[in-house]
Structure 1
């Protein structure tokens, strides 16, 4: 993508916030796959004020999440509910001149790479508090008024992911066995809330003061609040560390902080079920990603490497069975 052509339309979009004469400096692609392009840049006003910002631009990728305008609405609603979230500066569709749906948000400084979050000496003081902070943030996410984010979908997550695996058509006996166990031992459903869908170590911006922002709202939907807590505890998101909550804390700290902050009372048996479901879900995602490489949809060493993670997750599922 040619980024230079975006500078002019982007300046026009931001003129509504910062006034005429705003300049775009240092526009660069930071990360993002086929479904999202993420760029960092500075907006400099006519008065010389500099505003560090992030541009997210929609693409046509096969793994595209929800619409970016919905993400913008979610981030605004999350901020109003007390979730640490980047301020949305502007959002619009392709008619605004950028050629695709987009969101511009403030750039929040901090660490996002999980292994650094778990090992950086600069974060040593805050690491013991992160599990509790996650509980507080998740309670805030789950109190976002559903009316503030209309058109969110609700579906049976277990059936949805079982259908995905069936569609792929590969034999995975251990995974199939675990899915049957999950179906037979499903806990009673809680009230339906806004579920982030990908709340984990790696989608958080962390500084010495703790969690500064929650990222990646692409998979948000309506569902059981324990889905988010269980996903956070999946072994893959511990990145080699021992503590079960994101690699940085114990279950008790997460649960107690979540309940104190007004979250649903946590049934630990149900939480274990959702953690196990999360492992199965991640295994299916790894199968999907490997298939993208193997079928030539996107040749990638990273995607190919995810294929070997399938058996690791199957082993974890078998060990989790009572």
Structure 2
């Protein structure tokens, strides 16, 4: 995942020393000063910026990726290093691997040490900053050309990569969550019924999206984060790049940067073949369902008690965004539905400010009075503060909405002979109901829209 700089590492002296030793061995230079700065926003890896100097005073900049100590996956890290080396040999812009191993003193986990590449990955800057205007209109084609290079990478050194069927893999993750959802069941059935013939297997990046590559005004400088790479259908990467979640609020379908036609044009220039619109649509639908399931999977880490986290908790409330996107990309969202008018507030013995007013006031105070006091070095605190403010807004909107939407969904489910959305999902899975039925589309659309109006009403604009 993409990351943003945070505060300096203060107590991990042994890690600093260990990185210094690895850097000395990798560069054959007498490294005399090493400092680390951890990044925030990574998913399963710990990522550090490495700033060092040699005996001449010359600067050495690198990036360390390691598994959390005690939770390492050496095979996966070896595969990531192999992908970077193979992709580099094929002409893909990637950071150069300086060192990689299952462990090292002080690092104490499988790791990768790479050279630092300059460039921007923050979506809003790529979408809006004037300095990227010259490259912005051609980026979709450039990304298609880069994907073509990735997919032409020889597989002879990549035996470590898995080649599991991606639809079966994501369905298994969903089943293991043991939370049947009508939208997922509808999506799975549509995907099985419309699956295109497979392409010849290639190196698939697995998370090729805005945020995971570095851009300068000259173009794409580096493709990052290869931890999900595998062997599979190359069109998977193209579809993933088109998923709405990776547009970050911009309207253009390819990462908020360009058109699908530009993407396919660039891809064809590198590979000599052009996937069909139907193939790209199927893989975009698959990617949307995949992100829905993975979002719910991430939230489960908090909900199960495994990892208490306000960030993961917030993700749980955003699953409805992907539900909405999935219904939309499949053409199954019922545009006629509308969220019921909220009930009037109940009479209460409590004084004002009312509960919703309290939540709104706290959110306003955090945003307007506390957030501006945080320094640039307090990126993590700023990030968490934004999440807390968003959750307060969700709570306020849910209290204001009352039970009207839940009551209407319950009535519509009853007309279908179902007590709950779970029962509807189970009947869709058993194929005793048709996912294209008008009344099913209506109740599922209403449930998703009601959740979205509370969780993130701006998503509908």
1:255 corresponds in structure 2 to 264
2:178 corresponds in structure 1 to 169
Deviations 1:82-135 (A, max 9, x none): 111011111122145521111111111111111221112221211111101100
2:275 corresponds in structure 1 to 266
Q: In structure 2, do the counterparts of structure 1 residues 210 and 175 end up closer, same or farther at CA, with 3 Å as the change threshold? A: same
* 1:72 aligned residue (65, 76, 81): 81
8 A contact 2:209–2:241 mirrored in 1: yes
Q: Which has the larger displacement, 73-82 or 2-11? A: 2-11
Corresponding position: 1:244 with 2:244: no
- Judging by fraction of residues, say which structure has more helix: 2
2:386 corresponds in structure 1 to none
The two structures, once aligned, show a CA RMSD in angstroms of 2.0
C-alpha distance in 2 between matches for 1:263 and 1:35:
36
Q: In structure 2, do the counterparts of structure 1 residues 296 and 65 end up closer, same or farther at CA, with 3 Å as the change threshold? A: farther
2:91 corresponds in structure 1 to 82
Structure 2 segments unaligned to the other structure (5+ residues): 1-8, 332-461
Corresponding position: 1:45 with 2:47: no
Q: In structure 2, do the counterparts of structure 1 residues 124 and 64 end up closer, same or farther at CA, with 3 Å as the change threshold? A: farther
Q: In structure 2, do the counterparts of structure 1 residues 63 and 281 end up closer, same or farther at CA, with 3 Å as the change threshold? A: farther
8 A contact 1:92–1:103 mirrored in 2: yes
Q: Which has the larger displacement, 61-70 or 248-257? A: 61-70
- Please state whether the residue corresponding to 1:44 is helix, strand or coil: strand
TM-score by length of 2: 0.67
Listed as ranges, the matches of 1:133-282 within 5 Å are 133-262=142-271, 264-282=273-291
1:116 corresponds in structure 2 to 125
- Please state whether the residue corresponding to 1:160 is helix, strand or coil: helix
Task: Give the number of equivalent residue pairs.
Answer: 322
Corresponding position: 1:299 with 2:308: yes
8 A contact 1:283–1:309 mirrored in 2: no
Q: Which has the larger displacement, 260-269 or 129-138? A: 260-269
Q: Which has the larger displacement, 153-162 or 259-268? A: 259-268
Q: Which has the larger displacement, 116-125 or 232-241? A: 116-125
- Please state whether the residue corresponding to 1:146 is helix, strand or coil: coil
8 A contact 1:7–1:24 mirrored in 2: no
8 A contact 1:34–1:64 mirrored in 2: no
C-alpha distance in 1 between matches for 2:168 and 2:223:
28
Q: In structure 2, do the counterparts of structure 1 residues 61 and 122 end up closer, same or farther at CA, with 3 Å as the change threshold? A: farther
Deviations 1:35-89 (A, max 9, x none): 3111112232223221211111122587979622221221111111111101111
8 A contact 2:69–2:109 mirrored in 1: no
How big is the shift at 1:34?
Answer: 7.0
TM-score by length of 1: 0.94
Corresponding position: 1:318 with 2:352: no
Structure 1 segments unaligned to the other structure (5+ residues): none
